Amino acid sequence: NAGVMQNPRHLVRRRGQEARLRCSPMKGHSHVYWYRQLPEEGLKFMVYLQKENIIDESGMPKERFSAEFPKEGPSILRIQQVVRGDSAAYFCASSPPGTGGNEQYFGPGTRLTVT
Amino acid sequence: AQSVTQPDIHITVSEGASLELRCNYSYGATPYLFWYVQSPGQGLQLLLKYFSGDTLVQGIKGFEAEFKRSQSSFNLRKPSVHWSDAAEYFCAVGARDNYGQNFVFGPGTRLSVLP
């Protein structure tokens, strides 16, 4: 059973461009979480999704950020008009149904650099 | 809301020495507690978790942690550190229906190991 997959692993964008980060959960996992890790800090929750539903996006900035988890395909975290402050590592985690989110398996992360 | 503190930003130990990483949490109900390890450029790997029962929990890679309710602590220990243990360690606290912002990470402790 492959682990959580994220791509790309590294992404460089100029200010004002769009960044698309992808996350494929582990097989059988229907819950996806996105976290952001700024340098020298722990992970901060951004959004929690189930298939075709955003359950909790309270940690996501109101503007420029969006997330989706379609019926088919990976979950996407989209950042429009990126700014330098968006430079961070973005981690995706997935969990199986029925565990209340207490078994989160993390992907390797996407490191976004905004120049 | 939960919160987690890890008082030590950076710890250096010699290979073969014992290790204790501190974690203190704040949560009104019975917490679910976790320790994750992050190697450079990698995602997070779950070392161990505590939900209930025996307050001393064993994890992978020879790690253990002890839940002390009276001290609101969940310190991570290893009797003999190996050079490969050099990494960032994160304590996290969750809740029964753990998702989203209910899953809170500490700022991390960076462990360096001297040969």
Distance from CA of B98 to the nearest CA of A (A): 5
Is the per-residue pLDDT at A101 higher than 90?
A: no
C-beta atoms of A45 and B104 within 8 A: yes
> What residues of chain B lie within 8 A of the CB of A41, using their CB?
107-108
CB contact under 8 Å between B98 and A101, yes or no, is yes
pLDDT > 70? residue A1: no
| CATH number of domain containing B97 | 2.60.40.10
Question: Pick from A30, A38, A8: which is nearest to A20 by CA?
Answer: A8
Nearest-CB residue to A55 (from B36, B44, B99): B99
Q: Work out the number of other CB atoms within 10 angstroms of the CB of residue B20.
A: 13
- Greatest extent of chain B over all pairs of C-alpha atoms, in Å: 43
The mean per-residue pLDDT over the stretch B47-59 comes to 92
Chain B's closest residue to A31, CA to CA, is B99
- State mean pLDDT over B103-115: 92
pLDDT of residue B98: 60
Domain count, chain B: 1
As a whole number, the mean pLDDT across chain A is 92
Least confident of A28-37, B38-47, B106-115: B38-47
At B17-31, the pLDDT tens digits run 999 999 999 987 778
Among partner residues A4, A42, A56, which is closest to B90 by beta-carbon distance?
A42
Residue A106 contacts B, CB cutoff 8 Å: yes
pLDDT (average), residues B30-49: 89
Residue of chain A with shortest Cα separation from B39: A108
Q: Please check whether residue B16 is in contact with residue A15, taking contact to mean a CB–CB distance below 8 angstroms.
A: no
Q: Residue B17, Cα to own-chain centre: how many angstroms? A: 18
* B97 in contact with A, Cβ within 8 Å: yes
Q: What is the pLDDT of residue A22?
A: 98
DSSP track, A6-71? EE-SEEEE-TT--EEEEEEPPTT--EEEEEEE-TTS-EEEEEEEETTEEEE-TTS-SSSEEEE--S
Q: Is the pLDDT of residue B96 over 90?
A: no
Least confident of A50-54, A61-65, B38-42: B38-42
Count CB atoms within 10 A of the CB of residue A103: 17
Smallest CA–CA separation between A83 and chain B, in Å?
Answer: 22
- Under 8 Å CB pairs connecting chains A and B tally to 69
Q: What is the pLDDT of residue A79?
A: 98
Q: Which region, left, alpha or beta, applies to residue B113 given φ > 0 means left and ψ of -120 to 50 means alpha?
A: beta
| pLDDT tens profile A13-22 | 999 999 999 9
Contact A101 B104 (CB under 8 A): no
- Read off the tokens for A65: 């950020």
Q: Domain range holding B98?
A: 3-114
Mean pLDDT confidence for A17-28: 96
- Under the banding of pLDDT at 50, 70 and 90, the label for residue B104 is confident
